[in-house]
Chain A
Amino acid sequence: MKKCHISFQLNGIITEVLVNPNQTLVGMLRDDLGLTGTKYGCGEGDCGACAVLLDDEPVNSCLVLAPQVDGRRVTTIEGLADGEKLHPLQESFVEKGAIQCGFCTPGMILSAKALLEREPHPNELDIRTAISGNLCRCTGYQKIVEAIAAVAEKADNCGEEN
């Protein structure tokens, strides 16, 4: 089994890795690069705990082979905060009590980020559809939907002030 030398943008930083071809993207992020914010859940693309942004689109990183990200852009939950300052979605999740055990949170927030970039004014159905690949066994989703909606509304209000 020949190792693959890959180079990709990880949270904005060019990263070079020598990786086994049978390593998954989630495995490389957690085990080889120490970025444990991405969670490993079902390993079959059902739970969404391992969601990352691949070229800005959310995907299950358990269904991507590590060498496939060669030359591409990967964003994990660690790439969202600006130093000590949390991303507005992270702040809103804390504010609204949208986090309980926290296992689904990184994936939820990345799915929400992709949604807000595509659709800055989502309705509730848009939000629920966007997170339909991210399973939460604690919250019943209501607080999560509220947290995402609050970020969209806040952005709207800021826009009006300007």
Chain B
Amino acid sequence: MILPRFDYEAPDDLKAACKIMAVYGSRACLLAGGTDLLIALKKESLAPVKVVALDRVDELKGIGTASEGIYIGARTTAAELADAWLGSAEQALAEAASLVGSPLVRNLATIGGNLATAMPAADLAPPLLALNASVVLERVGAQREVALEEFFVGPGEQVMSSEEVMTLIFIPQLPEGSGGAFEKLGVRKALERSIVSVAVVISLDDDGRTINAAHIALGAVAPTPMLAREAAASLVGRRAVAKNFAAAAKIAAGEARPRGKRTSTVYSRLMVETLTRRALDRAFQAANI
């Protein structure tokens, strides 16, 4: 497959990258891991004048922990996330990262790219939604932080302006006794776009049994990755037992808005229920370690 013609630039730092985007705007494309962009270019669904590679922008690399939470550079790869131990709740993100594409893809694909392409089935979106993450967007002279739940607009659409570069993903610090898990359904174990995915994060009270906070996020069952708010709310103040998990999973299935494109809506909802129950079970175990 032959790529269309474009100019190429690899700025040395974030400031330079923002400057190029300020000049070219929607006529330029940012290149991070390239696992989505190169395919879009080959299929000519994008035809930029300029491709701006972020390879040299070291400010976008690396994972940092602070008292307020975890900062993940937007160019951190899925392979790096899969190998990182960030905590018992954040493990949901590592699990999802370990299931992105294939090992070859994971060495290229980045967290920023996975969010910016805004696919309904993006593997890293549900765990980050469940972890209450936000993204930092930068352009010349301005920076803003957007909560991830406000970030996605529709399939392939998000709130970034064409002048902005995503720099960071921030995960706020969770209380002790929190646990997370990710579940993905596909027809095979590698190179698979999720049919349904579920991420769960729960925080337990000091008694180790009462749920103080819960977040449930669903992938591939709505135009955007989404939070199942009612399901999560149903768990707060309750005991972490199978009966309550099953009830919450049923509510989550009702909140899903599958479009019936890849599987029937009935099947999608049933799988949301099953995967939510499994994820809650494992998140509870993770919280108790």
A binds B: yes
Residues of chain A having any CB pair with chain B under 8 Å: 1-2, 4, 21-24, 43-46, 48, 51, 54, 57-60, 62-65, 67-68, 70, 111, 129-130, 132-134
B235 to chain A, nearest CB (A): 33
Q: Quick check: B108 and A24 within 8 Å, CB to CB?
A: no
**Complex contact B6–A21 (CB within 8 A):** yes
CA distance A129 to B101 in the complex (A): 11
Whether the pair A45, B105 counts as a contact (CB closer than 8 A) is: yes
In the complex with contacts A1-B5, A130-B103, A63-B34 CB distance below 8 A: yes
Interface residues on B, range: 20 to 34
**Who on chain A is nearest to B3 by CB?**
A22
Give the nearest-CB partner of A55 in chain B. Answer: B107
Q: Give the residue of A57, A67, A133 whose beta carbon is less than 8 angstroms from that of B102.
A: A133
Q: Is the interface of B mostly helix, strand, loop or mixed?
A: loop
Q: Which of B134-159 contact A (CB under 8 A)?
A: none
Of A58, A60, A65, A70, which contacts B31 at CB under 8 A?
A65
Residues of B close to A60: CB separation below 8 A: 35, 104-105, 108
Please, which residues of chain B bring their CB within 8 A of the CB of A68? 10, 31, 34, 53, 55
The answer to whether B55 and A133 have CB atoms under 8 Å apart is no
Interface residues of B in 21-48 (CB under 8 A from A): 31, 33-35, 38-39, 41-42
Chain A residues whose CB sits within 8 angstroms of the CB of B33 once the complex forms = 63
Given contacts A43-B42, A64-B108, A65-B34, contact A132 B7 (CB under 8 A): no
